[in-house]
A and B are shown apart, each in its own frame.
Chain A
Amino acid sequence: MTTIAESHHHHHAPTGIKRWLFTTNHKDIGTLYLLFALLMFLTGGAMALVIRAELFQPGLQFVEPHFFNQMTTVHGLIMVFGAVMPAFTGLANWMIPMMIGAPDMALPRMNNWSFWILPFAFFILLMSLFMEGGGPAFGWTFYAPLSTTYSNDNTALFVFAVHIMGISSIMGAINVIVTIVNMRAPGMTYMKLPLFVWTWLITAFLLIAVMPVLAGAVTMVLTDKYFGTDFFNAAGGGDPVMFQHIFWFFGHPEVYIMILPAFGVISTIIPTFSRKKLFGYASMVYATASIAFLSFIVWAHHMFTTGMPLAGELFFMYSTMLISVPTGVKVFNWVATMWRGSISFEVPMLFSIAFIVLFTLGGFSGLMLAITPVDFQYHDTYFVVAHFHYVLVTGAVFSIMAGAYYWLPKWTGNMYHIGLAKAHFWLSLISVNILFFPMHFVGLAGMPRRIPDYALQFADFNALISIGGFAFGLSQLLFVAVVYKCAKGGQKVPAKVWDGAEGLEWEVDSPAPYHTFSEPPEVK
């Protein structure tokens, strides 16, 4: 392992664009991932604003329904595969080697590849929007036959884009596993790993298990559409419902791929600003592993209305509810960590506390959706939209923001403008709830998702939701400003930026030198 680390220990690194194109340094690649994720977050956010502008009033105002469908589809794809997943991969690249005392990722060249194929995937996906017939318009879940019989010829571009995204995340996951298994500093046993490293290790295994299944699903769509196979075509002996089974066999572990690293970030930040050790470290590890296991046996709760037999509905209902047990363990552990701690409310802590409250809210609506009989009412309504935006925006995205504010001084060596950062937090917190909370109400009242128009009685709530949407979207520009200013300069910070922080990453200088832990540290 040391030979790989030393082989790129040269001092004639290329400069300019070549530095970034050819880099094998985990910090450079982490930065690339994070900046790419930010760009995609803003792109996907702009699409969300198109959706919200159209839904500000009933009737059709700005866009054609077909374009509206493309916006909902590509917004989902970009936020899942372009924003949340690369952001966590970026955090993993930056932090995992530093947290375990390794000089770099184990497979640096593959690391370069896994990042640099990603922009091409999204280039292909975004360009399909400008082609004749438009981009994918069948929802990010690309249910057959929408994606096979009723889609346009640009579907092949969607398929190849998803293939590239999948290959990228599989390579990233392999790198994380090899790094954690092989490159821990002496004395860093598994049960001493920081929780962010643990959650990422488990996430990486989930990625390796399910991203190939997604690749299989899109390949079947491709051959069904272009090469005359009948995987999902009932006339040829296939079954469209099988598409949903295969998709959600990927899709449900996927949602934990997006939330387990978030748990890791929050488990890192809460103890720092509570000035206490994390409550129940071992139970956190086992809870994460249990969630990962359970994520494989609950997929059909997305499909209660497809006409499953009662036994199946009951099985998937109970197994889904079971997930709230390990998740509850985590939430209670975070609260217990804060209990009687000397809490201070720095910006990362604000985001983390908001995460705990709002993610739990999203968890509760998820529990409601798990109940089969009521799911028949909630299915495909805005209640579902409210649920997954609470867990993904105020969950995953807030944790990424928390992580960025937590480690940004370590990355740049400068403290960011705290006033601006706090403004970003409070504006985001208020607007995100104006944006997503009323969706619960219109959803329960029966407003269907993915439709560019709605019945008149939903008009007031939708206007409010759109105002929240634009406020939340524009607030994120503050984040861009904070990051930009911080990268340019600011008050210098010491190696240990936060006085309550623990971990090897705080033992190296700020900003973190280009090469860290060339000599493995001693872990007691």
Chain B
Amino acid sequence: MNNVKLLKKLILTSLLMFAFAFALVPLYDVFCDITGLNGKPNMEQAKVSANSDESRSVRVTFITHAQAGAPFKVKAKRYSVDVSPGEMERIEFIAQNLSSSDKIMQAVPSVAPGRAAKYLHKVSCFCFNQQPLTSKGSADLPLLFYLDETLPNDIHEVTLSYTIYDITADVKGKVASNSNSDGELTNENSI
């Protein structure tokens, strides 16, 4: 093989590896999605559950914390609930905007233990959408969820944690460059 040919191949390999670094981003999500690793819960709207397994009960706890600097206070009205797998449960969260300007918040869920993530189905969730809150305003945010009946028997407790982010600046920036949007953006870039 002459030098130039080999050189071209090696440069091509380098470029492909550069592209591979970016390909790792979707691959990472696909991998987490399939395996349910990393506590990344399913962000797709689940169908309602028809039947439930009354023979066992799992405690689901809800915790939230606002990212440093995010002026929000979000709290579940009930700290924890006992549910049977398959049983649908509705939880209300109260979200407050502590600042004196209009803000948009985004909640990002995470499930512990991580392997329970793929068994937690959300029929509706405030985390599916960006939530605008007026200054000093508050809102009731619902979550409708159930645990899959195939949840492994050794899981007795599941914690659903929401991290609350202030995405006002990001959204405003994107709105400015996207004229057909009215600020109520859908959450298509999530996950």
For A209, give the chain B residue with the smallest CB separation.
Answer: B17
Q: Is A237 in contact with B14, judged by CB distance below 8 angstroms?
A: no
CB distance from A65 to the nearest CB of B (A): 19
A490 contacts the other chain (CB 8 A): no
Establish whether residues B18 and A309, one from each chain, have CB atoms under 8 Å apart when the complex forms.
Answer: no
**Which secondary structure characterizes the binding site on chain A?**
helix
Contact with B along A203-247 (1 / 0, CB 8 A): 000001111111111011000000010110011110101100110
Of B21-29, B56-64, B76-84, B143-151, the segment with at least 4 beta carbons within 8 Å of chain A is: B21-29
A4 at the interface (CB under 8 A from B): yes
* Interface contact B28-A239, CB-CB below 8 Å: yes
In the complex the two chains form, is A235's CB within 8 Å of B167's CB?
Answer: yes
Q: Which of A173-181, A347-355, A394-402 contacts B (4 or more CB under 8 A)?
A: A173-181
Answer whether residue B99 sits at the interface, using C-beta atoms and an 8 A cutoff.
Answer: no
CB <8 Å contact, A235 and B189: no
Known: A212-B14, A216-B21, A217-B21. Is A309-B37 also a contact (CB below 8 A)?
yes
B residues 145-191 in Cβ contact with A at 8 Å: 163, 165-167, 170, 173-174, 189-191
Would you give the shortest CB distance from B43 to chain A, in whole angstroms? 9
Partner of B10, one of A1, A208, A236, A245: A208
Residue of B nearest to A237 (CB): B190
Q: Which of B1-9, B44-52, B90-98 sits within the interface? A: B1-9
Instruction: Tally chain B residues at the interface, Cβ within 8 Å.
Output: 42
Known: A178-B7, A228-B173. A237 touches B21 (CB 8 A): no
Query: Do A211 and B14 contact each other (CB < 8 Å), given the known contacts A181-B6, A216-B21, A236-B189?
Result: yes
A212-B15, A215-B21, A312-B37 are known contacts. Are A178 and B189 too (CB-CB below 8 A)? no
Name A90-105 residues within 8 Å CB distance of B: none
Tell whether A307 is near chain B: CB-to-CB under 8 Å: yes
Distance in Å from the Cβ of A42 to the closest Cβ of chain B? Answer: 31
Contact of A212 among B1, B17, B106, B108 (CB under 8 A): B17
B11: nearest chain-A partner, CB-CB? A174
Contact indicator A245/B17 (Cβ below 8 Å):
no
Bound complex: CA A246 to CA B1 (Å): 33
Least distance between A100 CB and chain B CB atoms (Å):
15
Residues of B within 8 A of A209 (CB): 13, 17
A213 touches B6 (CB 8 A): no
**Please, how many angstroms separate the alpha-carbon atoms of A182 and B40 in the complex?**
49
Residues of chain B within 8 A of A210, CB atoms compared: 17
A378 at the interface (CB under 8 A from B): no
Q: Per-residue CB proximity of A354-394 to B under 8 Å, as 1/0?
A: 00000000000000000000000000000000000000000
- A residues 184-211 in Cβ contact with B at 8 Å: 208-211
Question: Bound state CA distance, A215 and B17, in angstroms?
Answer: 10
- Please, how many angstroms separate the alpha-carbon atoms of A187 and B3 in the complex? 19
Q: Do A236 and B167 form a contact, CB below 8 Å, given A245-B28, A307-B39?
A: yes
Q: In whole angstroms, what is the CA distance A522 to B40 when docked?
A: 62
Q: A107 interface residue, CB < 8 Å from B?
A: yes
Contacts of B174 in A (CB 8 A): 228
The 7 closest A-B pairs by CB, nearest first: A216-B21, A235-B165, A212-B17, A212-B18, A237-B190, A213-B21, A174-B10
6 pairs, A vs B, C-beta closer than 8 Å? A178-B3, A212-B16, A234-B163, A237-B189, A249-B24, A307-B38
Q: A212-B16, A216-B20 are in contact. List 10 more A-B contacts (CB 8 A).
A: A177-B10, A181-B1, A182-B2, A208-B14, A210-B17, A212-B18, A213-B21, A242-B24, A307-B112, A307-B114
